[in-house]
Amino acid sequence: MTVFVYLNTAKQVGDIDHIRVFATVDAAETWFEENDRDGVAFEYDVIRPPA
Protein backbone atom coordinates (compact mmCIF):
# COMPACT_ATOMS: atom_id res chain seq x y z
CA MET A 1 0.00 0.00 0.00
CA THR A 2 1.20 3.51 -0.78
CA VAL A 3 0.13 7.06 0.00
CA PHE A 4 0.83 10.34 -1.78
CA VAL A 5 2.37 13.14 0.30
CA TYR A 6 2.41 16.88 -0.46
CA LEU A 7 4.39 19.45 1.54
CA ASN A 8 3.59 23.15 1.37
CA THR A 9 7.00 24.70 2.03
CA ALA A 10 5.42 28.14 2.40
CA LYS A 11 3.85 26.96 5.69
CA GLN A 12 5.53 26.34 9.04
CA VAL A 13 5.98 22.81 10.36
CA GLY A 14 2.92 22.05 12.47
CA ASP A 15 0.62 24.33 10.48
CA ILE A 16 -2.51 22.45 9.47
CA ASP A 17 -1.82 23.23 5.79
CA HIS A 18 1.87 22.20 5.86
CA ILE A 19 1.32 18.57 4.85
CA ARG A 20 -1.37 16.67 2.94
CA VAL A 21 -1.56 12.88 2.68
CA PHE A 22 -3.71 11.30 -0.01
CA ALA A 23 -4.83 7.67 -0.15
CA THR A 24 -5.06 7.60 -3.95
CA VAL A 25 -3.57 9.42 -6.90
CA ASP A 26 -7.11 10.42 -7.93
CA ALA A 27 -7.67 12.12 -4.58
CA ALA A 28 -4.37 13.99 -4.95
CA GLU A 29 -5.11 15.09 -8.51
CA THR A 30 -8.57 16.35 -7.54
CA TRP A 31 -7.15 18.36 -4.64
CA PHE A 32 -4.38 19.83 -6.82
CA GLU A 33 -6.86 20.94 -9.49
CA GLU A 34 -8.80 22.89 -6.86
CA ASN A 35 -5.95 24.13 -4.64
CA ASP A 36 -2.44 24.08 -6.12
CA ARG A 37 -2.15 23.41 -9.84
CA ASP A 38 1.66 23.53 -9.70
CA GLY A 39 1.98 21.24 -6.67
CA VAL A 40 3.45 17.75 -6.64
CA ALA A 41 2.83 14.77 -4.36
CA PHE A 42 5.38 12.03 -3.80
CA GLU A 43 4.45 8.37 -3.44
CA TYR A 44 5.57 6.57 -0.27
CA ASP A 45 5.12 3.02 0.96
CA VAL A 46 3.05 2.57 4.13
CA ILE A 47 5.03 0.56 6.67
CA ARG A 48 2.91 -2.09 8.34
CA PRO A 49 3.87 -4.20 11.33
CA PRO A 50 4.35 -7.94 10.69
CA ALA A 51 1.18 -10.01 10.94
pLDDT, position 46: 95
Low-confidence ranges of the chain (pLDDT < 50): none
What is the 3-state secondary structure of the chain? Answer: CEEEEEECCCCCCCCCCCEEEECCHHHHHHHHHHHCCCCCCEEEECCCCCC
Predicted pLDDT at 49: 92
Taking the C-alpha atoms of residue 48 and residue 11, their distance in angstroms, rounded to an integer, is: 29
Separation of alpha carbons 51 and 45, rounded Å: 17
Identify the pLDDT of residue 43. Answer: 97
The pLDDT value recorded for residue 51 is 83
| Residue 14 DSSP one-character state | T
